């Protein structure tokens, strides 16, 4: 028989506050004592972690009545915690190892670079999570990203560029090509939703068929004369500003925060609200948990599935536009494989392949995990082949943990 120990939540919260305060103090002391030595931004990271722990402890106290005034500790709860957070703990260990190997990794600039690279991938993952929540998938996501990138950039080249996609096209408002790109993705989203909802086609097959169609259509468009499949460049600055603007930058002091980061955060908040505070969001979880029960409960499965794929395609379109703005160019190869990275990030973040389970914070964590792996291992000069092996191991472990949890339930 397992022994259980019940501890008041307030005591645990006080421990968080004390540990957080100590860490913040240690960070301040490191900053003062080693201000002439190269510790990069490690003291600020320690201070930041301390502030987060203090804030978390205060939230535990404030929400004690809602989430329970007592916490039960046992071997079972400890094992459950380790199982649910194994990937995150492994990531923290990896970050510590990278910092020891290459101290330059301990810089705010590195952290901001990782967040910038994660922004568009996060938007795509947020779209694909809806399809995973109903025990489906969407293999057309990456090709929709490429389609949006090609359509938007093809109409937003500077007049002086030598190889314009549309040589006689006047300078049009930047909003029109962006809307056209997103609408094109929405149309394919309608097709995905109709195939799945109307014919009860498995999302894997339906979106695979759409993926091929999208790539073919995008390639035909990309090969139109006079472009003839040449990479699209010479992009207007009012468009690239959507992906390259740096906020709060101070020359020689602070490079700034990429505009992509707040855009991704705003979309995260919107999607969190849709999933947790709307009838549509509750219907998504209901269909993923038990489709037959959802039908009996009066859920309009056809309309919900249609809207899932339409909403997802809109997010892919936004991600494609922002990716094109960030890189100031596009080709029909853009977005290739993005859907697999997005699915992997969602699964690692706790979105169940069996449907009905998944949270936004888990998806954010999953995207950041793969960004840290890619950026961090490149930072210390690890071969890209080894990076792929590590990504594959993490995906396999995450799916194995998900399936083990599903079987226990």
Q: Domains in the chain, start-ordered, CATH in brackets?
A: 1-76 (no CATH), 85-408 (1.10.3470)
Crossing angle between the packed helical segments 384-408 and 75-84, to the nearest 10 degrees: 140
Considering only CA atoms, which of 190, 180, 105, 108 is closest in space to residue 148?
180
3-class DSSP state of 370: helix
User: Which residues of the chain have a pLDDT value below 70?
Assistant: 1-3, 34-38, 65, 67-68, 402-403, 405-409
3-class DSSP state of 257: strand
Scanning 134-236, the segments in alpha helix (DSSP H) are 141-154, 175-199, 203-222
pLDDT at 377: 86
Residue 235: strand pairing partners:
157
pLDDT at 105: 86
Considering only CA atoms, which of 156, 331, 324, 149 is closest in space to residue 234?
156
pLDDT at 407: 62
pLDDT at 1: 46
How far apart CA 5 and CA 110 sit, in angstroms, is 42
Considering only CA atoms, which of 94, 131, 109, 136 is closest in space to residue 370?
94
In a 10 Å sphere around its CB, with 0-12 CB exposed, 13-18 middle and 19+ buried, how is residue 278 labelled? exposed
Contact predicate 174/200, CB 8 Å: no
Q: Which long-range contacts (CB under 8 A, 24 or more apart) does 189-192 make?
A: 189/144, 189/309, 189/310, 189/311, 189/312, 189/313, 189/314, 189/316, 190/306, 190/309, 190/310, 190/313, 192/138, 192/140, 192/309, 192/313
Residues 6+ apart with CB under 8 A from 386: 377
Break the chain down into helix, strand, coil percent, rounded to 5: 70, 5, 25
pTM for the structure as a whole? 0.91
* Sign of the alpha-carbon dihedral angle for 184, 190, 196, 201: negative
pLDDT at 31: 80
pLDDT at 179: 97
Contact predicate 332/161, CB 8 Å: no
Instruction: At 11, list the tokens.
Output: 């005591």
In a 10 Å sphere around its CB, with 0-12 CB exposed, 13-18 middle and 19+ buried, how is residue 11 labelled? exposed
Considering only CA atoms, which of 227, 314, 321, 214 is closest in space to residue 274?
314
């Amino acid at each position: 028989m397992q022994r259980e120990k019940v501890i008041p939540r307030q005591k645990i919260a006080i421990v968080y506050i004390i540990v957080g305060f100590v860490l913040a103090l240690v960070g301040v002391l490191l900053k003062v004592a080693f201000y002439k030595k190269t510790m990069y931004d490690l003291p600020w990271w320690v201070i930041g972690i301390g502030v987060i722990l203090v804030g978390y402890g205060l939230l535990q106290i404030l929400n004690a009545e809602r989430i329970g005034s007592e916490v039960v500790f046992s071997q079972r709860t400890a094992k459950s915690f380790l199982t649910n957070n194994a990937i995150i703990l492994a990531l923290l260990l990896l970050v510590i190892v990278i910092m020891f190997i290459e101290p330059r990794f301990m810089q705010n600039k590195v952290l901001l670079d990782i967040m910038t690279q994660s922004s568009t991938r996060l938007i795509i993952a947020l779209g694909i999570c809806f399809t995973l929540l109903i025990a489906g998938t969407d293999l057309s996501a990456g090709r929709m990203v490429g389609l949006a990138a090609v359509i938007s950039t093809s109409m937003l080249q500077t007049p002086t560029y030598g190889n314009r996609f549309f040589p006689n096209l006047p300078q049009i408002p930047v909003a029109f090509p962006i809307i056209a790109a997103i609408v094109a993705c929405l149309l394919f989203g309608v097709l995905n939703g109709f195939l799945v909802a109307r014919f009860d086609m498995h999302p894997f097959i339906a979106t695979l068929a759409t993926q091929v169609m999208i790539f073919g259509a995008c390639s035909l468009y990309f090969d139109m004369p006079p472009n003839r499949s040449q990479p699209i460049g010479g992009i207007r600055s009012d468009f690239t500003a959507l992906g390259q603007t740096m906020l709060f930058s101070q020359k020689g002091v602070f490079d700034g925060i990429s505009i992509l980061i707040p855009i991704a955060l705003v979309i995260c908040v919107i999607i969190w609200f849709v999933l947790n505070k709307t009838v549509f969001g509750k219907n998504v979880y209901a269909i993923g948990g038990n489709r037959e029960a959802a039908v009996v409960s009066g859920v309009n499965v056809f309309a919900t599935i249609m809207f899932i794929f339409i909403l997802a395609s809109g997010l892919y379109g936004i991600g494609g536009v922002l990716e094109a703005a960030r890189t100031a160019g596009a080709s029909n190869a853009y977005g290739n494989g993005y859907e697999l990275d997005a699915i992997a990030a969602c699964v690692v973040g706790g979105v169940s392949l069996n449907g009905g389970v998944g949270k936004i914070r888990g998806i954010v964590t999953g995207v950041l995990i793969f960004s840290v792996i890619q950026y961090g291992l490149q930072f210390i000069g690890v071969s890209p082949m080894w990076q792929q092996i590590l990504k594959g191991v993490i995906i396999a472990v995450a799916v194995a943990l998900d399936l083990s949890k599903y079987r226990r339930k």
